[in-house]
Chain A
Amino acid sequence: MIRTILFAWVGAAVALAQIDPEYVAPKQNPHTSPADLKRGEQLFLGHCAGCHGPKGEGARGPYLARPKLRRAPDDAALFELIRDGIPGTEMPAGWAMIMKEVWQVTGYVRSLGRTAEEKVPGDAARGAGLYRTKGNCSQCHTVRGQGGGTFGPDLTEIGTRRSASYLRAALLEPEKTVPEGFVQVHIVTKEGKTITGVRLNEDTFTVQVRDLNGVHSFEKRDLKDFHKDPGKSPMPGYRTIFTAPELDDLVAYLASLRGAS
């Protein structure tokens, strides 16, 4: 039985991860002509931009417009990552591309990183203080296990997942950058109770919602009104709460959050 499972995984890995099972990846990118780069951009816009942003600035997926990519120290590693995806994450295998196309995307992603390293003015230590006090961010967010908030996304690795400019935009206009999985919903039950919160799960018959009071579960047939507000966010905008220097500090702090420890 386990043998069958083992072989199934091997077979699936071969089928999914490698389009050509006999391809041996060279150490350096063999497709770096201007035409390759142009094609790489086209492919990037088609396959990658949906998660990584049209300029690799990050969205659902991490931002790529930087010289050092944590999981891809060299071209061969980046090629393999695009080809095979990252198991256990949302990064899928590039099964729809042949090897040449994967190299072309590799070249284009590297070219994105040749932009100057993002400048992040501001003091991260001061920003940490603002996070706790004026920002009151822990009410909804967690960092390294600390914080009351499971209401909003965990921020432990946010510095690797979003560019500083994205983070700034998220603080100023949260409704333009609602992450996936945090759809705001509005519910009125037949008994007149009103709940606005983040949808945890939904199916044809039921919906589960989280607000600041906790988790609520409903049968849809018991609801008078149920609608989703996709462009809405329970997160307040901080434009009027922070001064410009304070915003810089908070962004610096968030950009420094790159994982546990």
Chain B
Amino acid sequence: MHCSFLSWSRLGAVLLLATANCLAQSPPGQRLYSANCAPCHGPTGAGGKAPDLTAPRYRHAPNDQALFGIIRFGIPNSGMPLTRHLTDQDIHAVIAYLRTLQETSPPPARGNALAGRQLYRTKGNCSQCHTLQGTGGATGPDLTDIGARRSPAYLRESLVNPEAAVPENFMVYRLFSLIPDNFLQVRAVTKDGRRITGTRVNEDPFSIQIRDSSDRLHSFWKDDLAELHKDRGKSPMPSYRVLLSEEELDDLVAYLVSQRGGL
């Protein structure tokens, strides 16, 4: 589901109206958070599609001023949009609320992170496609701070059913439209018969750039392609449902949750 600005501002309006009575007594920051932020960051800030805000430090916001800037202007090339409809006062209220969320301690993770680390390297073979703390391949998303950006539940689902949650990023944030960054799987056939399957790096009306499974970059004029298929909802990432036991999945998730950045 796209966290598009329009759809969740409508959603936000509905939520506001529906829960106006209940929340009328709660602090304005919390109300604003529930209306605007919860759909991606989770009802209690624990994350989901978007980072866990209960983390003690925010990667992009070392202080209140920076956090204000992020809420006001968003983060380019990410799912975090800007908020034209919030006043300065609103944003300060949200920040105050976020600071209270940061004081809560994180839920205990099931599973053993150390065992998970082993699995990452061995059975999981994750480095083939993912980078973590500087090493690994670049076909899939970087996982260096994945624990701060996605909730444990989300990570588990990604492992078991990767195609349910292919990272998507076609945000309204096209103000600085640079790279789609959404790991869309594409299949191209050139007019002289070459076949390339990979993730889309960038696209425009006339050309497309693709990274294949050997991490090789290709650039094509669309005029030179006989076929171009976009396999939405498909992922080159295999499912680990069968390969890993429930316990192993817990361990791997615990390891990923512990990855909170700080290179």
The chain A residues found within 8 Å of chain B, CB to CB, are: 1-3, 6
Contacts and interface: CB of A to CB of B under 8 A. Distances in A.
Dominant secondary structure at the A interface: helix
Interface in B52-110: 60, 66, 69-70, 73, 76
B176 A3 contact: no
11 contacts: A1-B76, A1-B176, A2-B69, A2-B73, A2-B76, A3-B60, A3-B66, A3-B69, A3-B70, A3-B73, A6-B69
B93 to A, nearest CB: 21
A49 to B, nearest CB: 41
A1 B76 CA distance: 6
A182 to B, nearest CB: 41
Contacts of B70: 3
Interface residues of B, number: 7
Nearest to A6: B69
Contacts of B73: 2-3
Contacts of B69: 2-3, 6
Given A2-B69, A3-B69, 8 more contacts: A1-B76, A1-B176, A2-B73, A2-B76, A3-B66, A3-B70, A3-B73, A6-B69
Contacts of A3: 60, 66, 69-70, 73
Interface in B112-168: none
A8 to B, nearest CB: 12
A2 B176 CA distance: 10
A2 B77 CA distance: 12
A1 B70 CA distance: 10
A1 B174 CA distance: 12
Nearest to A4: B76
Contacts of A6: 69
Nearest to B178: A1
Nearest to B61: A3
B66 to A, nearest CB: 7
A1 B69 CA distance: 10
A2 B175 CA distance: 11
Q: Which 9 A-B pairs have the closest CB atoms?
A: A2-B73, A1-B76, A3-B69, A1-B176, A6-B69, A3-B73, A3-B66, A3-B70, A2-B69
A3 B176 CA distance: 13
A1 B178 CA distance: 11
A3 B73 CA distance: 8
B42 to A, nearest CB: 24
Contacts of B176: 1
B63 to A, nearest CB: 11
Most buried by B among A1, A3, A6: A3
A2 B73 CA distance: 7
Contacts of A2: 69, 73, 76
Nearest to A3: B69
Contacts of B76: 1-2
A2 B173 CA distance: 12
A251 B232 CA distance: 76
Nearest to A2: B73
A1 B73 CA distance: 9
B231 to A, nearest CB: 31
A2 B69 CA distance: 8
B158 to A, nearest CB: 28
Interface in B8-39: none
A2 B66 CA distance: 11
Contacts of B60: 3
B144 to A, nearest CB: 20
Nearest to A5: B73
Interface in B150-206: 176
Contacts of A1: 76, 176
Nearest to B173: A1
A3 B69 CA distance: 6
Nearest to B73: A2
A30 B73 CA distance: 43
A14 to B, nearest CB: 14
A5 to B, nearest CB: 9
Nearest to B66: A3
Contacts of B66: 3
A6 B76 CA distance: 14
A27 B66 CA distance: 32
A221 to B, nearest CB: 37
A78 to B, nearest CB: 30
A202 B76 CA distance: 39
Nearest to A10: B65
A87 B46 CA distance: 45
